[in-house]
Amino acid sequence: MPEVRDKLSIYVPQEKLKENPIERLMRLAKARERSVNYLVVQAIMEFLAREEKKK
């Protein structure tokens, strides 16, 4: 059985840093009164649901 983890760290490639993803997430989190973590987890869950439907 795979090891269960509850933490995730991501690397943002240099070419994506030009699009300011971290600052954009921080602004959006503040505007929505949510944490950056909440937004990232929500995005991951939506991505997984969408991709798993394609199988």
Q: Assess if residue 3 is contained within a domain.
A: no
21 in a structural domain? yes
Residues spanned by the domain of 39 = 14-53
User: What pLDDT is recorded for position 3?
Assistant: 81
CB 29 within 8 A of CB 36: yes
Q: Look at the chain and report how many structural domains it folds into.
A: 1
The pLDDT value given to residue 27:
98
pLDDT at 46: 98
- Does residue 19 form part of some domain? yes
- The pLDDT value recorded for residue 2 is 74
What pLDDT score was predicted for residue 4? 81
Is 43 among the domain residues?
A: yes
The 10 Å Cβ neighbour count of residue 14 is: 7
Nearest residue to 41 (alpha-carbon basis) of 29, 53, 30, 31: 29
Nearest-5° angle of CA 22, CA 26, CA 29? 135
Sequential pLDDT tens for the chain (55 residues):
678 888 999 999 999 999 999 999 999 999 999 999 999 999 999 999 999 999 7
Identify residue 3 by its one-letter amino acid code: E
Scan for tokens 């973590």, then name that residue: 37
